[in-house]
């Protein structure tokens, strides 16, 4: 693979001469005036808590895979636009290029947008918090599902299940579409719901040809500061925001092997951690296997596409 995938682990960026706008669970965001610079660190969060160790190459994988999907989505005129501008450092402002040794391979220039206060989750399979909700209530985000479904079972049709957007140390909560409407308005809620379902269905069709099941994905949208219209922002269809399962190993009725951070969640669950800060340390073997899974997801999904 390219050299950026072998960068030293970066847990936090500090770019002199640039204005830090926000430090999220994984990404550091800098305000460049008419655009934003997003730096994907190697931080890893699980259960909405940032873990002590980073995953080598993770920021580069998230950046490269998001850039791939953002460019790929441009082909579909019936999908909302996205904020991606470029990952080419030669097109960055001069103040950014001074930090090329940090930014190369793990950053992107994007349009400015005001993020919506919700996360847009599309589920095609019954897993994760959706499976937990279904076991408890027979529904997800207030949407009733047929009785007798198994863990990891494919749903008849993908469903849209929004959630709150947690701050550091807090947990996302599944909400109903009506609650989302009360937060962002009826028109915006309908636009991003429809866009989320279209993006998921088309990405699923692509991933199928690569031997990967996209069980679910989390998307984020914002209001474009120039047009005032919703646009896709943040990351898209990465191992941080999606569940990727190898199709050849898929068997409903149990948890699935994966190319995403579910592997880390499963390890943390085995420790009996209460999912509150501080998070446990990750042993070297878990870090290595997580790195390998992220990189394999990138390799499979982008194979033959460049």
Render pLDDT for 267-288 as a digit per residue (tens, 0 to 9).
999 999 999 999 999 999 999 9
Residue-wise pLDDT tens digits, 137-152 = 999 988 999 999 999 9
Look at residue 285 and tell me if it is in a domain. Answer: no
Residue-wise pLDDT tens digits, 229-249 = 999 999 999 999 999 999 999
Residues 173 and 26 in one domain: no
Look at residue 186 and tell me if it is in a domain. Answer: yes
Look at residue 21 and tell me if it is in a domain. Answer: yes
Say what the pLDDT of residue 225 is.
86
Look at residue 183 and tell me if it is in a domain. Answer: yes
Residues 107 and 122 in one domain: no
**Average pLDDT score over residue span 203-229:** 96
Say what the pLDDT of residue 134 is.
96
Residues 204 and 221 in one domain: yes
Question: CA 111 to CA 36: how far, in whole Å?
Answer: 6
Question: CA 258 to CA 238: how far, in whole Å?
Answer: 12
Pair of tokens at residue 287: 């870090």
Say if residue 167's pLDDT is above 70. no
**Average pLDDT score over residue span 208-218:** 98
Residues 227 and 157 in one domain: yes
Look at residue 53 and tell me if it is in a domain. Answer: yes
Residues 77 and 211 in one domain: no
Q: What phi and psi, each to the nearest 5 degrees, are found at residue 87?
A: -115, 10
Look at residue 2 and tell me if it is in a domain. Answer: no
Question: CA 277 to CA 273: how far, in whole Å?
Answer: 10
Residues 126 and 268 in one domain: yes
What residues contact 229, with CB distance under 8 A and at least 6 apart?
Answer: 80, 81, 223
Say what the pLDDT of residue 39 is.
98
Say what the pLDDT of residue 3 is.
41
Residues 233 and 124 in one domain: yes
Residues 105 and 119 in one domain: no
Q: Which CA distances in Å does 264 have to 172, 284, 285?
A: 18, 12, 11
Look at residue 1 and tell me if it is in a domain. Answer: no
**Average pLDDT score over residue span 95-124:** 96
Confidence of residue 306 (pLDDT cuts 50, 70, 90): low
Identify whether the C-beta of residue 255 lies closer than 8 Å to the C-beta of residue 276: no
Question: Which CATH number does the domain housing residue 195 bear?
Answer: 3.30.470.20
Please identify, among 64, 88, 112, the residue that sits at the C-terminal boundary of a domain.
112
Say if residue 14's pLDDT is above 90. yes
Q: What is the 3-state secondary structure (H, E, C) of 54-120?
A: CCCCHHHHHHHHHHHHHHHHCCCCCCCCECEEECCHHHCCHHHHCCHHHHCCCEEEECCEEECCEEE
Question: Which CATH number does the domain housing residue 57 bear?
Answer: 3.30.200.20
The 3-state DSSP class for residue 137 equals: helix
Please identify, among 49, 83, 112, the residue that sits at the C-terminal boundary of a domain.
112
How many domains, the chain? 2
Look at residue 236 and tell me if it is in a domain. Answer: yes
Burial of 107 (0-12, 13-18, 19+ CB in 10 A): buried
Say what the pLDDT of residue 95 is.
95
Question: CA 21 to CA 153: how far, in whole Å?
Answer: 41
Mean pLDDT of the chain: 94
Residue-wise pLDDT tens digits, 249-269 = 999 999 999 999 889 999 999
- Tally DSSP H helices, then E strands, for the chain: 8, 16
Residue-wise pLDDT tens digits, 45-63 = 998 899 999 999 999 999 9
Q: By residue range, what is the domain housing residue 272?
A: 115-280
Residue-wise pLDDT tens digits, 181-190 = 999 999 999 9
What residues contact 281, with CB distance under 8 A and at least 6 apart?
Answer: 51, 52, 53
Residues 80 and 191 in one domain: no
Pair of tokens at residue 191: 């636009």
Confidence of residue 172 (pLDDT cuts 50, 70, 90): confident
Say what the pLDDT of residue 216 is.
98
Residues 60 and 136 in one domain: no
Say what the pLDDT of residue 165 is.
84
Residues 141 and 275 in one domain: yes
Q: How many residues does the chain have?
A: 306
Please identify, among 71, 97, 112, the residue that sits at the C-terminal boundary of a domain.
112
Identify whether the C-beta of residue 61 lies closer than 8 Å to the C-beta of residue 10: no
pTM of the model: 0.94
Q: Is the dihedral of CA 138, 140, 142, 143 positive or negative?
A: negative
Say what the pLDDT of residue 173 is.
84
Residues 107 and 123 in one domain: no
């Amino acid at each position: 693979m390219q050299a950026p995938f072998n960068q030293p682990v970066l847990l936090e960026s500090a770019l002199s001469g640039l204005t830090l706008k926000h430090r999220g669970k994984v990404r550091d965001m800098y305000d460049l005036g008419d655009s934003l610079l997003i730096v994907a660190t190697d931080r890893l969060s699980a259960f909405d808590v940032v873990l002590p160790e980073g995953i080598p190459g993770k920021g580069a994988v998230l950046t490269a895979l998001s850039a791939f999907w953002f460019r790929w989505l441009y082909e579909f005129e019936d999908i909302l636009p996205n904020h991606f501008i470029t990952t080419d450092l030669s097109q960055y402002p001069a103040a950014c290029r001074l930090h090329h040794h940090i930014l190369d391979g793990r950053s992107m220039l994007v349009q400015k947008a005001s993020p919506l206060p919700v996360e847009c989750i599309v589920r095609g399979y019954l897993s994760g918090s959706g499976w937990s909700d279904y076991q408890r209530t027979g529904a997800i985000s207030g949407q009733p599902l047929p009785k007798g479904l198994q863990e990891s079972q494919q749903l008849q049709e993908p469903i849209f299940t929004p959630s709150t957007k947690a701050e550091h140390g807090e947990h996302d909560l599944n909400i109903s579409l009506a609650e989302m409407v009360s937060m962002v308005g009826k028109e915006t809620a309908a636009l991003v719901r429809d866009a989320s379902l279209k993006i998921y269905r088309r990405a699923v069709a692509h991933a199928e040809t690569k031997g990967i099941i996209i069980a679910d994905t989390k998307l984020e949208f914002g209001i474009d500061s120039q047009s005032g219209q919703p646009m896709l922002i943040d990351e898209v269809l990465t191992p941080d925001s999606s569940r990727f399962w190898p199709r050849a190993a898929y068997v409903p009725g149990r948890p699935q092997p994966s190319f995403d951070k579910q592997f880390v969640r499963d390890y943390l669950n085995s420790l009996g951690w209460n999912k509150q800060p501080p998070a446990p340390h990750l042993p070297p073997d878990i870090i290595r296997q997580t790195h390998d899974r992220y990189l394999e997801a990138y390799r499979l999904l982008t194979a033959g596409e460049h």
